[in-house]
Amino acid sequence: MGIQPAHIERAIAIARAYGATRLILFGSALEAPEQARDLDLACDGVRGWKLYELGARLEEELRMPVDLVPLSPPTPLTRRIEQKGRVLYEAGRTS
């Protein structure tokens, strides 16, 4: 299957529409995108049920499994994601 740049671009657009202030790619999609079977994302700025709605929308639109992890509150997992992951989007940051 693999993760294509279009998947990433669409994920960013959808997350922004839900109010995400930061989106980080991690896991297999970062390490070996051509072999990845799912998309691992960590998100800030989307809370409560909206986070679940965002995850479902991403899976529906991208037609692949999506693991969506909230970045708040901080945990050992989120700290590792912040260290090892790739920031795809951050509000107020220009590329």
DSSP-derived secondary structure for 11-44: HHHHHHHTT-SEEEEETHHHH-TTT-SSEEEEEE
Q: Could you tell me the residue ranges of all domains in the chain? A: 5-90
pLDDT tens digits, 5-43: 999 999 999 999 999 999 999 999 999 999 999 999 999
Side chain identity at 64, as an amino acid letter? M
Q: Please give the model's pTM, rounded to 2 decimal places.
A: 0.93
Fold of 5-90: Beta Polymerase; domain 2 (3.30.460)
pLDDT tens digits, 51-92: 999 999 999 999 999 999 999 999 999 999 999 999 999 998
Residue 44, H or E segment:
strand 39-44
